[in-house]
A = this chain, B = another copy of it.
């Protein structure tokens, strides 16, 4: 938890932003629902508690069972939650009172949770505007659809009268997009843990080891040093499958191991790194040829990312660089500009170059991907690859983004393009056949946009060039 002043300032800023919106948006109450526990197999055996990210940002409380109201008309704030009884003390230990928790975050008032429900119901019956953010969790969906007497599906939308508040959502996004110094410090910490987890993975990437063994070691590091992983660890010798969560294979010489994994700090800030390792400790020439293209793409994005530059343009520059490299290998053919325009890079990189990162590893994704990642006036493309770009905005100091180019050979996608002629004659399928068992390579760093350019987050960078990786693996 940060100092009280951080939360007070954030809520004052938010109130100001709401006051600046159209008259009908500037009135009423803004409600914030913290998360409840989420049952794993039964209620009581819950997943590790994760607080709702915007609740954490404005109200700091990292426990289940809280909610808050910011009254836009009076400026009054209230934190809602229940004090513990003797049963709670036996099972969970003595706890500070809700009043003292409110005090720690500078919220003027506190009350039991039931008063939250009563307040929302009263506001509804009085016809006051009730602002809320799109709801992620199903528990809160049930709760809020009951309180607001609206269909559950409305709670995820921001485009209608009885849906989540577009004005509040935009105001929150505008604040959370630009990271404060205290947040950058926490993201750096998450990156340190990410460095440790990837280092442990590399040290354990030896022929004969089961993939699951390595995942456990990595995830264990995140639990020892932070809250846990910032997302389910991706570790696979089938790197061409972007989010592969099966880990039953044995590390096999000659294959590539793609590891996309990050940590969440104890204060819930994320890191997100990808490295691709040669299982035998040495890349083959064929692997190295592709690997070097991805390294160059990663480096290019780092070189270009700076205030005033659209990240969408960086994605396209990377696509051009990638196609240039693939052309040199005889895998594609034609003018680079034409290939970029036709989205040929999407066959090899069917995802975007990067995303915002903060309290969520895909920061604020549930507030609306386009609201978060696209400036007003930017429209999202419909092309494979570019269409998946989650962060297209003109960069500003304080943005934290990932830089994660990749090249994959996805047999099902290749045969689909071939049969449908999607490539307009620019792909050399004969040559591509030699790569059907190649797998995939992705290389990812986390960038902070600074006043003049950007810096890689974390104090140490994981080995990334083919030579660095081979030399690290040789010494381990």
Contact = CB atoms under 8 A, between A and B. Distances in A.
B231 A220 contact: no
Nearest to A224: B216
Contact of A350 (B90, B215, B242, B359): B90
Given A41-B52, A90-B413, A413-B89, A138 B138 contact: yes
How many of chain A's residues touch chain B, expressed as a range? Answer: 35 or more
A90 B224 contact: no
B45 A360 contact: yes
Nearest to A218: B220
B225 A216 contact: yes
A377 interface: no
A295 interface: no
From A42, A137, A244, name the one whose CB has the most chain B CB atoms within 10 angstroms.
A42
A219 interface: yes
A40 interface: yes
A160 to B, nearest CB: 19
A216 B52 CA distance: 23
A258 to B, nearest CB: 12
A229 to B, nearest CB: 9
A38 interface: yes
Contacts of A212: 223-225
Nearest to A416: B86
Contacts of A90: 241-242, 350, 410, 412-413
A224 B215 contact: yes
A424 interface: no
Interface of A: 38-48, 50, 52-53, 86, 89-94, 136-139, 141-142, 152, 212-225, 231-232, 238, 241-246, 350, 359-362, 364-366, 410, 412-413, 416
Q: Which 8 A-B pairs have the closest CB atoms?
A: A220-B220, A216-B224, A138-B138, A216-B223, A93-B241, A42-B366, A47-B47, A138-B139
